[in-house]
RNA sequence: GGUCCGGUAGCUCAGUUGGAUAGAGCAUCAGCCUUCUAAGCUGAGGGUCAUUGGUUCGAAUCCAAUCCGGAUCACCA
């Protein structure tokens, strides 16, 4: 919890006038209400006994105590409770509440201008506003997890942006965060692109074809599937069943042999594998750098795929697992409503889930984390449920604190993305297009003609990527979302560039009128509607960070930051800042603008989106 | 078939520890640039919150049933 000195709290001597200075105004109101109910009715209530909401715009007031449940337990009419409680709050907490009205079961309270202006005075220049002090807790966030046989696509982008943003949000909530990635660099699917390269490439390389390495390898993965399909078809024509043909196709047999050779460590296969993977990594590096992803630790499946075997033995000893007659090892999860799950094949090799059990333990031993978050698509909900259950049954450390941040698939307006049908949206192509679009818009508007070429490139990147990240992060992670190409390059309305633009607008004013040059508040003239509206939403920022952290949900921040920008823009249109009615108003508005810019910058940073000074 | 997730405006999404007349953006229509950046602002139209029943002062939100969509239930990863 943040702690800030309550300069704006005036101590009046009454014991009941103790203030809860580091709290949000909502918590404050809850505490005051509890105290009031106790004083008035000599009965103990908790915050769960009544509801506090933001007052609807059509009514007078800032926050509302919903009294229906109180009416029931006190057996009193709303007017009675409302006038007693409202009167009490105004009398006992004059620094917080200045007026009230009662409509049906709603007690609407007006928060004093003193409260808002003191908040503004104290927080307007605080770039760490809303962020919590380090708690000493450590959390691992695993995300991205690409395969080394094809380039990154739209689905990976959602994953990467989510992982990055959740890491930033957790940092803001006081966690130490370790970002990790598990690279799926081995297995039959990796061998497919290797075999296709051997058969069809004639020694071509990314350099010889001027192709980005991951795309280069990706074409051979596609080529494999095409050629394999042809082989299967011709075998079917020659009389085999489809199943037989799929097994007997020469390409598949070669691939399976290659996998065996890889596992046996045959030098020529290992060399080819290393070479092709290095091509892919060169490509990934470029993409990760462009989209602003990075990791503190990268695990490779080629190193981890043998993990977990000791654990399987321990599980047998503990009778968590059992062995079937053929030698394969299983766990029975039917009492949990799941199925039986294999953890070791009859040939003694470990399966996908076994590696994950091993990796969990390895990560724990390495980092001693308090929580381990996996950013993985919802198609793996079952897998992750089983993983956690097994870890718990084995009594592995911190198994209860495995959290699957399950996100929904990204679909296209035309339907689902399918790698094999070529309906995927490539990450690099998309980034290119977004940057190109931002260039076009910027040139049309012609506001930054004095920028150098380098500055312009940086700006196009900021806007293009900002639009894309915001577009993918503004939706609740767990929901399947639709990617609409036209909508994604729209820079108006609920978009990243809209928020960035609002920031640039403010900065333009502050360059002319630095806020530091002004005397401190207090302010005597009453706050106008839009001034207060801005302060009300700015006051909510710490709570938003907390909520986003608790829910592992960046869309909470995206929605918030958009609303802040929207309210600021209304305010900006309605009220002049530099040429305000009075000097006092000018000071207040400059500070409001400063605080708004800081919150926008801070919130966007939690989404991994920089904001420009000009655009 | 079992399990899980979802269904809110033409489209994309908010809103669900039960609260006032269900909100944004896009799209459509009507306005606003001698004035701090119009990537902006103001206003209008647009809803059987999938359906039905239940719980209660009050249901988009909770419960039950039904319909529709998706994911998953591999000795693949």
With tokens 């070429």, the residue in question is: A453
Supply the pLDDT for residue A305. Answer: 86
CA A503 – C1' B41 distance (Å)?
A: 16
Phi first, then psi: give them for residue A330, nearest 5 degrees: -135, 165
Considering only residues 190-229 of chain A, list those whose CB is below 7 Å from strand B.
none
Supply the pLDDT for residue A520. Answer: 63
Does A4 score more than 50 pLDDT? Answer: no
Q: Pick out the nucleotide with least CA–C1' distance to A337.
A: B3
pTM value is 0.94
Supply the pLDDT for residue A523. Answer: 64
- Which residue approaches B77 most closely, CA to C1'? A352
| Residue among A473, A528, A529, A524 nearest A496 (CA) | A473
Q: Is A27 within 7 A of strand B by CB distance?
A: no
Mean pLDDT of chain A: 91
Does A497 score more than 50 pLDDT? Answer: yes
Considering only residues 471-530 of chain A, list those whose CB is below 7 Å from strand B.
474-476, 478-482, 484, 487, 490-495, 497-498, 501, 504-505, 507-509, 512
Supply the pLDDT for residue A297. Answer: 97
Contact A218, A283 (CB under 8 A): no
Q: Is A443 within 7 A of strand B by CB distance?
A: no
Above pLDDT 90, what percent of chain A? 83
Supply the pLDDT for residue A515. Answer: 73
Radius of gyration of chain A (CA): 30
Q: At A374, which helix (H) or strand (E)?
A: strand A371-377
CA A508 – C1' B32 distance (Å)?
A: 22
Give pLDDT tens digits for A199-214.
Answer: 999 999 999 999 999 9
| Res. A492 pLDDT band, cuts 50 70 90 | very high
Contact A481, A417 (CB under 8 A): no
Average pLDDT over residues A459-471: 97
Average pLDDT over residues A109-135: 94
Domains (range + CATH), chain A: 3-111 (3.30.1360.70), 150-179+296-421 (3.40.50.620), 188-293 (no CATH), 467-606 (1.10.730.10)
With tokens 């690409």, the residue in question is: A146
Does A17 score more than 70 pLDDT? Answer: no
Give pLDDT tens digits for A323-345.
Answer: 999 999 999 998 888 889 999 98
Supply the pLDDT for residue A310. Answer: 87
Supply the pLDDT for residue A423. Answer: 75
How many alpha carbons lie under 13 Å from residue A382 in its C-beta half-sphere? 7
CA A381 – C1' B55 distance (Å)?
A: 32
| Residue among A292, A282, A298 nearest A216 (CA) | A282
Does A404 score more than 50 pLDDT? Answer: yes
Supply the pLDDT for residue A521. Answer: 60
Phi first, then psi: give them for residue A269, nearest 5 degrees: -70, -45
Q: Is the dihedral of CA A581, A586, A587, A589 positive or negative?
A: positive
Q: Which class for A28: exposed (0-12), middle (13-18), buried (19 or more C-beta within 10 A)?
A: buried
Considering only residues 274-333 of chain A, list those whose CB is below 7 Å from strand B.
301, 305, 324, 326, 328
Average pLDDT over residues A98-124: 94
Average pLDDT over residues A557-567: 97
Supply the pLDDT for residue A9. Answer: 36
Above pLDDT 70, what percent of chain A? 94
| Res. A8 pLDDT band, cuts 50 70 90 | very low
Considering only residues 584-603 of chain A, list those whose CB is below 7 Å from strand B.
none
């Amino acid at each position: 919890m943040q702690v800030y000195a309550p300069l704006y709290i005036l101590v009046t001597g009454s014991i009941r006038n103790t203030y809860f200075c580091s709290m949000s105004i909502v918590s404050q109101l809850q505490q005051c209400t509890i105290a009031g109910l106790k004083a008035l009715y000599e009965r103990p209530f908790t915050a769960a006994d009544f509801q506090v909401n933001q007052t609807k715009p059509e009514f007078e007031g800032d926050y509302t105590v919903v009294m229906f449940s109180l009416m029931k337990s006190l057996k009193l009419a709303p007017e009675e409770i409302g006038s007693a409680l409202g009167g009490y709050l105004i009398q006992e907490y004059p620094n917080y509440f200045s007026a009230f009205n009662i409509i049906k079961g709603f007690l609407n309270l007006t928060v004093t201008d003193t409260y808002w202006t003191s908040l503004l005075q104290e927080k307007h220049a605080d770039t760490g506003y809303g962020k919590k002090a380090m708690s000493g807790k450590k959390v691992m966030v695993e995300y991205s997890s690409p395969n080394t046989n094809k380039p990154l696509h739209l689905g990976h982008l959602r994953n990467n942006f989510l992982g990055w943003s959740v890491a930033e949000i957790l940092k803001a909530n006081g966690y130490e965060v370790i970002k990790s990635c598990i690279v799926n660099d081995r297995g039959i699917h990796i061998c497919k692109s290797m075999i296709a390269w051997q058969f069809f490439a004639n020694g071509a390389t990314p350099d010889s074809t001027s192709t980005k390495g991951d795309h280069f390898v990706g074409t051979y993965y596609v080529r494999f599937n095409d050629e394999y399909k042809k082989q299967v078809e011709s075998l079917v024509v020659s009389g085999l069943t489809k199943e037989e043909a799929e097994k007997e196709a020469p390409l598949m047999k070669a691939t399976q042999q290659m996998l065996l050779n890889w596992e046996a460590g045959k030098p020529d296969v290992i060399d080819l594998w290393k070479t092709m993977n290095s091509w892919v990594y060169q490509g990934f590096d470029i993409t990760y750098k462009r989209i602003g992803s990075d990791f503190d630790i990268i695990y490779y499946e080629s190193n981890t795929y043998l993990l977990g075997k000791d654990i399987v033995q321990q599980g047998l000893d503990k009778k968590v697992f059992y062995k079937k007659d053929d030698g394969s090892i299983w766990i029975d999860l039917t009492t949990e409503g799941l199925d039986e799950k294999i953890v070791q094949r009859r040939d003694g090799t470990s399966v996908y889930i076994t590696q994950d059990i091993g990796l969990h333990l390895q990560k724990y031993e390495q980092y001693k984390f308090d929580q381990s978050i996996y950013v993985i698509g919802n198609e793996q909900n079952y897998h992750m449920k089983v993983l956690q259950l097994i870890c718990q049954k084995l009594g592995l450390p911190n198994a209860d604190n495995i959290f699957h941040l399950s996100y929904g698939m990204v679909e296209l307006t035309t339907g689902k993305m399918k790698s094999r049908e070529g309906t995927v949206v490539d990450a690099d192509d998309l980034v290119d297009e977004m940057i190109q679009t931002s260039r076009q818009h910027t040139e049309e508007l012609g506001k930054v003609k004095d920028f150098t070429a380098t500055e312009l490139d940086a700006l196009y990147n900021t806007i293009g990527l900002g639009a894309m990240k915001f577009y993918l992060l503004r939706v609740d992670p767990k929901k399947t979302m639709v990617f609409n190409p036209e909508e994604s390059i729209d820079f108006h309305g609920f978009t990243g560039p809209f928020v960035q633009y609002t920031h640039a607008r403010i900065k333009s004013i502050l360059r002319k009128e630095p806020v530091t040059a002004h005397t401190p508040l207090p302010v005597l003239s009453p706050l106008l509607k839009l001034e207060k509206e801005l302060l009300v939403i700015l006051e909510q920022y710490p709570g938003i960070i907390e909520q986003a952290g608790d829910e592992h949900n960046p869309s909470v921040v995206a929605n918030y930051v958009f609303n802040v920008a929207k309210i600021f823009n209304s305010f900006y249109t309605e009220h002049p800042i530099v040429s305000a009615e009075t000097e006092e108003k000018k000071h207040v508005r400059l500070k409001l603008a400063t605080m708004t810019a800081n919150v926008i910058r801070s919130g966007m940073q939690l989404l991994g989106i920089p904001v420009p000074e000009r655009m």
